Structure 1
Amino acid sequence: MLGAVRTPAPSPGASTREPAIASRPTTNPAPIDADEPWMRGLHADTGYLLYRLGLRSGQLFNSFLQESGLRLRHYAVLRFLATTPGALQRELSASLGYDPSAIVGLVDDLEKLGFAERRPSPDDRRSRIIVLTEGGRAFLRDTDEAGQRVTNELVQPLDPAEREQLHALLQRVSESGLG
């Protein structure tokens, strides 16, 4: 047959299954359709709905940050540094819930962009603190508006009182559940 592409046979013991995750698009989750029988259980699961909202929030915010080369995780570090000047890397890790090795890479990225810098700790010469720079502050000012747009898009169906109530409830759950 003309134009047919022949795929080589897999080596003995190799999996012939397609990778399930690699072939699926991850940019925009499908809308929740509560009328689908298989969705009824998930639609009734608060944890699943929170997961979906978190996923969508991260996707929207990351798409805004894409031009800068940063991700939501970088923004979280910058936001933490804006409220906690001179944080140790272990404080960042514990407060944000990121693995310590991930914090090292995130801070490296932020240092390269001039958004944060490592300085000797005034309390312990063996430690270094992470400090937000003026460039990091300027970046936060620019991105805070985008964060507000993302939030507004996510909670658009709610009136202002419902938005406040949702925020208060999420804050309460977050504070007790994320320690």
Structure 2
Amino acid sequence: MSPVDRTRSTGRDRLRDSVLAGDLSFLLARANALALAAANAALAEHGLKARSYSVLALAADDVRPTQRELAEFLRLDPSQVVALIDGLAQRALVERRADPADRRANVLVATDAGRELFARAQDSVRAVGLGSLPAVTPREHERLARLLRLLAFPD
């Protein structure tokens, strides 16, 4: 190992043992950054990123979300959601339809092509998700998902 590699490794280990590495907010942010990078890499072959995949997933799930619901659920600015939907609509993956419960609002629905792409992309994301947590057992993965749901949906 070269002196530069040794210094990098030692520095990384020193930082890993720092006070910040015990901070829950930092750990969540770092884990999120690593997971997003892995997901975006897997989604690239489908022409998607994590945010556009999230919108497509909700549209393909037949929950018929409004743009406002998407913005709130995904914690994005409404203008970001509009841009994501526009991009998916240009690819004929989703459609805006009038909300039967409120004619002033639109709901988002996946097209057949959108559902097919979502199924392929979901397989890619699942494969990466399991691969990015090699030290986590399936039981720990389920527990982690439950804990994250508690944090993500506190009410």
Q: TM-score, normalised by structure 1?
A: 0.73
SS across alignment from 2:97: strand
User: What does 1:87-166 correspond to in 2, within 5 Å?
Assistant: 87-166=65-144
Maintained 8 Å contact 2:98/2:106: yes
With 94-103 and 123-132 compared, the bigger mean Cα shift is at: 123-132
Give 1:70 shift: 2.0
Which residue identity lines up with residue 136 of structure 2 in the other structure? Answer: L
Q: Which protein has greater RCO, CA pairs closer than 8 Å, 6+ apart? A: 2
Larger radius of gyration: 1
How far apart are the structure 2 equivalents of 1:32 and 1:57?
A: 24
Is 2:16 the counterpart of 1:58?
no
- Give aligned pairs, total: 148
Q: Which runs of 5+ in 2 are unaligned?
A: 1-7
SS across alignment from 1:47: helix
Is 2:56 the counterpart of 1:78?
yes
1:26-75 per-position Cα deviation (integer Å, ceiling 9, x unaligned): xxxx9996631685112111221111111011111111222333211001
- Against the structure 1 CA distance between its residues 48 and 132, is the aligned structure 2 distance closer, same or farther, given a 3 Å change threshold? same
Identity %, equivalent residues: 31
How far apart are the structure 2 equivalents of 1:60 and 1:102?
A: 22
Maintained 8 Å contact 1:32/1:39: no
SS across alignment from 2:107: strand
Q: Which runs of 5+ in 1 are unaligned?
A: 1-29
- Against the structure 1 CA distance between its residues 65 and 125, is the aligned structure 2 distance closer, same or farther, given a 3 Å change threshold? same
How far apart are the structure 1 equivalents of 2:18 and 2:130?
A: 27
What is the root-mean-square deviation of aligned Cα atoms in Å? 2.4
Which residue identity lines up with residue 163 of structure 1 in the other structure? Answer: H
With 142-151 and 99-108 compared, the bigger mean Cα shift is at: 142-151
SS across alignment from 1:36: helix
How far apart are the structure 2 equivalents of 1:141 and 1:38?
A: 37
How far apart are the structure 1 equivalents of 2:118 and 2:103?
A: 29
Q: TM-score, normalised by structure 2?
A: 0.83
